[in-house]
Amino acid sequence: MFICVRHGDNQRFLANTDCPVLLLLPYVRRKAGVPPGAVIDLCDPQGTPKLLFQPKALSERASKFFPVPGTYYVCRVEFGAPGTQQEHVYQAFVPLLKAPSPELTEALRQHCEHQHRVRLRTPRVLENRRMPNAETAPAAAQAPAVDAPSRCPSEQGKVAGHTGSAGAAEEDGAQRKAGSSGRAKQEPGRKERHR
């Protein structure tokens, strides 16, 4: 699948998105003549950046970000001042076009403003979330851990070959099966076999 990438003075080239983002970005950089130190991204005609430069996106396939063929613009990503908390936070997208449309520039600016507002709200949201205390924590989290070394040597061999969670799941499944079939009592010996 190919996309049309525009840059400079109405220059364009085709890029194959059937590859990882990690390979697409250097290709776009080389074709658009962007210096190696600059961080770049692509945006659609509506001014929505694809955020391809973010670490989690670099390992993804480019076709995930470009589902249908279309035209995209090369943008330079600007970050906060070095040595500040904003050093690794993107602040602006600058389209690498000789005369970008005002709509495209405004849409990119609004995207950055929106992200800035989201980042300002995030610490407050995290502060308002409270960690559960012992009374509100789920029962599974409160259960004491089983101390494996206290078992006798013959039982340790059985435990090593069979995980406790799988055995408990089988036992729980047997109890549910007995309960759902309408039988009031369990078969004797069945429960002992799993212990």
pLDDT at 86: 83
Q: Which CATH class is domain 2-127?
A: alpha beta
What percentage of the chain carries pLDDT values higher than 70? 62
What is the rounded average pLDDT for all residues in the chain? 74
- What number of other Cβ atoms are within 10 A of residue 74's Cβ? 23
pLDDT at 123: 57
Task: Please write the tens of the pLDDT for every residue from 89-147.
Answer: 899 999 999 999 999 999 999 999 998 888 887 654 444 444 444 333 333 333 344 44
Which amino acid is residue 38, in one-letter code?
Answer: A
